[in-house]
Amino acid sequence: MRVLFVASEAAPFAKTGGLADVAGALPGALSRLGCDVTLVTPAYRDVFAKGLGIDDTGLSFEVPLGGRRLTARILRSTLPGTDVPVFLIANEGCFDRPTLYGGTEDYADNAERFIFFSRAALELAGRQDRPVDILHCHDWQAGLVPAYRKLVYHAWPMLSQARSVMTIHNMAYQGLFWHWDMLLTGFDWKHFNWQQMEFYGQLGFLKTGLVFADAITTVSPTYAREIQHAPGGCGLEGVLAARGDALSGIVNGIDTTVWNPRTDRHIPRTYGPDDVAEGKFAARVALAARLGRAAPDPRPLVALVGRLVEQKGIELVIEMLGRVAGQGRARFVILGTGSAETEEALRRVAASYPDAIEVVIGFDEEFAHLIFAAADIVLVPSRYEPCGLTQLYAQRYGAIPVVRATGGLVDTVIDATQASLAAGTASGFVFEAFDSFALEHAIDRALGVRSDEGLWSRLVRQVMAQDWSWDTSARAYLDLFERVRRADPVAVA
């Protein structure tokens, strides 16, 4: 089976979020299962600063864009550690910029940029020597690809039998643009209607992908259910509910070559389930030194690593710290970036409890690895979470996650009740209400179990034994691709 990944970012070439992690890891896992996978992504300015091997194929062609034609120049590389080919679509006007999508405000011509990218990906696929079976399209930036395949490129020999799969990584980002940008797409205006491409007077890239794709996936089964209802669907819940039979959720994996305490070069002592106590103590010593402390604090270490934003429930953490930090039951360390107001609020609460809270503003991947290795408990109190990787990293490193019952957190963390602890199935602590008192109660439960060394050790070994590798997710995607390829394509009105 030949699969073409179309993604606007992919690690290690370019990254702003979890989409890049998926596009950088899933193709390799599919390739290991015997799938013939190729990745197509833009050649951003940032790509060339990575020191990756990139060659010019010598292939270039023009892509229609409204009344103009833009040149796409095709570069080639390989996903590191795999034999998966990567085609990078270069156009200086579209992609030679300081950031991928814009700074504090999106680039004004993002519609034009990703119309060009979507058409260029299909023009490239149509020029290959073998037909494509599956077009795997990711997020709004590739949302027009399923429509182009059905409406424009359906007669091209290399694309005539292709089926499209649209993957949603976060419904909050939909690619909504001025309705006159429809002129740039080359689509007939008849498709600008409420059932297909129009969303409250705007051109909706993600909506278009959801309507025209042969199958839709998102990054966890629970999120697949949540987005079929308000508020999870962010206005597209009706579209998703109507296509419920075509929608499925597949939990993301993690790159176990990067996130592996047995081999991690970022931590002072590697470890596994059998010597986790020794590994964590060494990490606690190193963390104390990194934070300017003479010795590690003997209290349980509770950590939060990630974006300090509303989605991640940071306001719950700030409220909780104001009540809990002074109790002396735990030490807290927080690593991440957010708004100036959020960062200042964290600094204030940390200044009130200097012996209990450490706040490090910024992001340093090496430091993140060290915190996961040192932590006993990791907080993921998200308002919503399509999949979430933080809880999976924590489990891999023997840190027990405390999570809110939403999205992929539900699918990856089993609450540590008396019954699940006795059965050996517990993998964290789960709370329901988006409320700082509910978070506090979950932390209290975790600290209660932490006080029983034998019970805690068994829980840690259980979570470290779980398999959240991409190989598991890739098998689910491959099964889906096979079903989609055998099924009749979705008809176009």
Q: Per residue in 253-297, pLDDT tens?
A: 998 888 999 999 999 999 999 999 999 999 999 999 999 998 899
DSSP letter (8 states) at residue 145: H
Where residue 191 falls (left for φ over 0; alpha for ψ -120 to 50; beta otherwise) is alpha
Contact present, 84 and 38 (Cβ < 8 Å): yes
Contact present, 307 and 382 (Cβ < 8 Å): no
Contact present, 338 and 309 (Cβ < 8 Å): yes
* Amino acid identity at 243: R
Is pLDDT above 80 for 35? yes
Q: What is the mean pLDDT of residues 210-224?
A: 98
Closest by CA position to 450, among listed 357, 377, 355? 377
Identical fold at 2-253+472-486 and 273-467? yes
Q: CA 346, CA 308: separation in Å to the nearest integer?
A: 10
Q: What is the pTM of this model?
A: 0.92
The sign of the CA dihedral 147, 148, 151, 153 is negative
Residue length of the chain: 493
- From residue 419, give the alpha-carbon distance in Å to each of 401, 426, 443: 18, 9, 19
Q: CA 171, CA 187: separation in Å to the nearest integer?
A: 24
Q: CA 300, CA 358: separation in Å to the nearest integer?
A: 14
Q: Per residue in 89-120, pLDDT tens?
A: 999 999 999 999 998 899 999 999 999 999 99
DSSP letter (8 states) at residue 142: G
Q: CA 301, CA 298: separation in Å to the nearest integer?
A: 8
Is pLDDT above 90 for 317? yes
Fold of 2-253+472-486: Rossmann fold (3.40.50)
Domain ranges of the chain: 2-253+472-486, 273-467
Q: CA 40, CA 199: separation in Å to the nearest integer?
A: 27
**Residues 6+ away with beta carbon under 8 Å from 23:** 5, 7, 9, 10, 11, 39, 41, 138
Q: Per residue in 116-161, pLDDT tens?
A: 999 999 999 999 999 999 999 999 999 999 999 999 999 999 999 9
Q: What is the mean pLDDT of residues 200-228?
A: 98
Rg (CA), the chain: 23
Q: CA 248, CA 219: separation in Å to the nearest integer?
A: 9
pLDDT band at 80 (very low <50, low <70, confident <90, very high): very high
pLDDT band at 46 (very low <50, low <70, confident <90, very high): very high
Q: CA 266, CA 220: separation in Å to the nearest integer?
A: 29
Number of H helices, E strands in the chain: 18, 18
Give 344: exposed, middle or buried? Use CB within 10 Å, 0-12, 13-18, 19+. Answer: exposed
Q: What is the mean pLDDT of the chain?
A: 96
Q: Which CATH code of 3.40.190.10, 3.30.450.40, 3.40.50.620, 3.40.50.2000 fits the domain covering 273-467?
A: 3.40.50.2000
